Amino acid sequence: MALPAFFDPLVNAPKPQKLVAGVFGLAVIGAAAYFLLLSPLEGRVSALRAQSSSLEREMGQSRAVVANLARYRREAAELEARLNLLKERLPTEKEMPTLYRTLSDAGTQAGLGVSLFQPRDPSTKDYYNEIPITVTAEGTYHEIGEFFERLAKLSRVVNVTDFRLTALARQRVPLRAEMTLATYTYRPIGSPPAPKAPGAKK
């Protein structure tokens, strides 16, 4: 098959010119291949390498989280168990009247003359309500000590937050104890404040 006429100068050219033209043609083809094919591929390879490095970093972080996950779960279980144990020792709102009677009876059973037993309005904390109770009682050192011992043995948490002792000029009842007891009810965060105690004073 005969070549088109415009190839005649190239076909009839001397051998050195053909060689130069061939080298130039190869250079043009190589440059076109680089800019049209290889250069975009290199850019894509670089982007994929950067993405691979990012994924490797994320995998490293994920492995660290997974390695600590068992510890986090164990700590969460321990905290939940401690919270449940504490909640078991806190009276519910329904139990408060019974607890008031138990505290008053503890003073009487210890031999104290309880002249004042007054629950006050609760104060709301983050996850519990503190319910103060003002108590005034008269008796001996031994009777006051026995009252505190009875408080310590209760299944519900009751603390003495304020205490004042006054000597009386009486042989049978030599001391007056004025104290504030505090008990607590569990309060999930975001729940409404505890209702006022019946007959409570601020």
- Residue-by-residue pLDDT tens, the chain, 202 positions: 555 554 555 555 566 665 666 666 666 666 666 666 666 766 676 777 878 788 888 887 877 777 787 788 888 888 777 777 776 777 778 888 899 999 999 999 999 999 999 999 998 887 788 999 999 999 999 999 999 999 999 988 899 999 999 998 888 889 999 999 999 888 776 666 555 655 555 4
Q: Tokens 């950067």 sit at which residue? A: 50
CA pair distance 47, 39, nearest whole angstrom: 13
Encoded amino acid at 62, one letter? S
| pTM of the shown model | 0.56
Spatial separation of the C-alpha atoms in residues 145 and 50, rounded to whole Å: 74
CA distances to 57, 119, 126, 134, 197 from 202, rounded to whole Å, are 59, 9, 20, 10, 10
